[in-house]
Amino acid sequence: MIDFIILMKQELIITVIIFILLLLKIGTDISNEKILNLANGLLLLNLAAGFVGNQQGMLFNEMFLTNPLIVLEKNILSLGTLIVSLQSADWLKKHDHVPEFYILLLCTLLGMFFMISAGNLLMFYIGLELSSIPLAAMANFDLGKRRSSEAAMKFIMSSAFASGLLLFGISLVYGATGTLTFSEMAGHITGGSLQVFAFVLLLSGFAFKISVVPFHLWTADVYEGAPVAVTSWLSVISKGSVLFAFVSVLYTVFKPMAATWYNMLFVLSVLTILIGNLFAIRQNNIKRFLAFSSIAQIGFILVGITGSSQLATASVVYFVLIYVFSNLAAFGVVALVSAVTGREQVSDYKGFYKTNPVLSWVLTIALFSLAGVPPTAGFFGKFFLLMSGAGKGNYVLITIAALNMIISFYYYLRIVKAIFMDANEQPIERLIIPAYAKLAMVICIVGIIVTGLAGYVYDYIHSLSFGF
C-alpha cells in the first residue's frame, strides 16, 4: 500500500484536487477569486510534491511505471499547468464556470500522467483518451462565441479519428506480438509487413495529436477558435505529453524497427518544418501564427528524435522544457491583450512598444527563443536537437533544418519589427498587468534565462535519460 501511494503520488494528488474542486462546485457558493486562489495554491502544492519523496518502480504488472526521467517529465507538465492557470486568472474571474474549467484541466493532466507512465499499450490508450476528451470541452469554454464551438467540434472529430487509428494499430500490434506490455513486446518486433502497417497506424495517430504534416489541418482553426488559455495549453502541455509518450514507445517498443521508422520521420520532419514555416509567414491572426509556429517546432523535435539515442531523449525533454517557458511567455502576452481589448491580429501589435514596453520585451524575448536566436534558451534547444539528428550522419536533414531556422527568423522578426518600428494610428492602449499574469511572465522569462545559461539543466536531463 505504501509503494502504491509513493509511486502514484502525483496522480493521487491531482485526483484529490479534482474532488476538492468538485465539492466546492456542489457546495456553497464561493467567489471566483477565492476559487482561483485555492486552485493556484493547490497546483503549486502539486508541483512542489513532484520534487520530493520519489521512487522508481512499477505497479499492476508493469501497466504503470515510474522513474526519475518520468517524474521530471510530469514536473515539467505540472509547471506548465501552473503557468497557464496564472495566465488565465484574469479571464476566469469573469467566467461563470471556474471550477468546471479546473476540473477539466486537471482531468486532462491526470490522463497525461497515466499516458507517460504507461508500460502497456492499453494503459497508454486510456491515458490518451482521458487527456483528449476534456480538451474538447475546454476548447468550447467561450460559451457565447460560435467559433469556440466550431473549434471544439473540429478538435473532437480530429481526435476521434486519430484515436481510431491508434486503436486499430494497437490491435494489430497485439495480433502480431501476442502482448501489450512494452517490455515483452520489443522482443517480438521483427519488422514484418503486418508490424510495419501497425506502426504506420500508430505513427499516424501520434502525428494527429502533435500536429505533424500532413495531419495538422485541425491545428490553426482550433487554436484560433479556442480561448487563449486553452490554445496555450494545447500548444505546450498537450503536445509535450504526447511527445514524451511517443519517444518512450518509439525507443522501447519499436527500437528493432529503427531503420524503418527513421525514413518515415525523415520525410515527416522535412514536410512539417517546411509547411509550418511557409504558412506561418502568411498568417495575420496572432493565434494562427503561433499555431503554425508550433507545427514548425514539432518538425525540429522530429529531427532530434531521428537520432534514436540517449542524446535524442535528453534533447527532446530539454527542448520541451524550453518550449514551455518560451511559448507560454508569448501566449501570456497574447492572452492579456485578447482578454482586455479583444484584438488578435498581427497588425494590432504595431507600435505596441510605445504603450506597453514591458509586455513588448516579454513577447520579444519569447519570440527570439522560439526562433532560436542566440543566446536565448531556444538556440541551445535547437542546437541539441540538430546534434542528436546528426548522430545518424544524415547531413541533408540537418542542412534542411538549419536553412529553415533562417526562414523562421523572418516571420518571428516580422512581429518584433511591428512591435518596435511600425506606426499604428490606433495602438493597443496601456494595459495593467494583473498580479498572477505578472508572476507567470516572470517565471517564463527566468526559465528562458536559466535553461539557456545554466548548462547543468541539460546535463541533469541527460543523466536521467540513461537506458533509453
pLDDT at 80: 93
**What's the whole-model pTM score?**
0.93
Using a 10 angstrom Cβ sphere, with 0-12 exposed, 13-18 middle and 19 or more buried, the burial of residue 286 is buried
Predicted confidence at residue 225, as pLDDT, reads 82
Looking at residue 1, its pLDDT comes to 66
Q: Which position has the grid cell 496564472?
A: 86
d(Cα 96, Cα 105) in Å, to the nearest integer?
Answer: 16
Per-residue pLDDT at 81: 93
Calculate the dihedral angle through the C-alpha atoms of 388, 393, 394, 398, rounding to the nearest 10 degrees.
40
Share of the chain above pLDDT 70, in %: 98
| Helix (H) or strand (E) segment spanning residue 289 | helix 286-305
* pLDDT tens-place string over residues 10-66: 889 999 999 988 888 787 778 878 888 898 999 999 999 888 877 888 888 888 988
Distance CA 298, CA 334 (A): 21
H helices then E strands: how many in the chain?
21, 2
Low-confidence ranges of the chain (pLDDT < 70): 1, 308-309, 454-455, 465-468
| CA separation for the pair 70, 112 (Å, rounded) | 11
DSSP bridge partners of 118: 64
pLDDT given at position 309: 67
Phi (first) and psi of residue 65, to 5 degrees: -125, 150
**CA atoms of 323 and 378, how far apart (whole Å):** 7
pLDDT for the residue 325? 93
- Give pLDDT tens digits for 166-193: 999 999 999 888 888 888 887 888 878 8
pLDDT for 308: 66
Among all chains, which residue has been given the C-alpha cell 520519489? 54
pLDDT at 105: 92
Q: Is 249 helix (H, G, I), strand (E, B) or coil?
A: helix
Q: 120 forms bridges with which residues in the sheet? A: 181
Q: What is the pLDDT of residues 422-451, one digit of tens each?
A: 877 787 888 888 888 899 999 999 999 888
- What DSSP designation does 211 have? T
- Give the contacts of 71 (CB within 8 A, at least 6 positions apart): 10, 50, 54
Task: Please classify residue 251 by burial: count the beta carbons closer than 10 Å to its beta carbon, then call 0-12 exposed, 13-18 middle and 19+ buried.
Answer: buried
The C-alpha atoms of residue 179 and residue 177 are separated, in whole angstroms, by: 6
Q: Which residues of 203-215 are buried (b: 16+ CB within 10 A; e: fewer)?
A: bbbbbbbbbbbeb
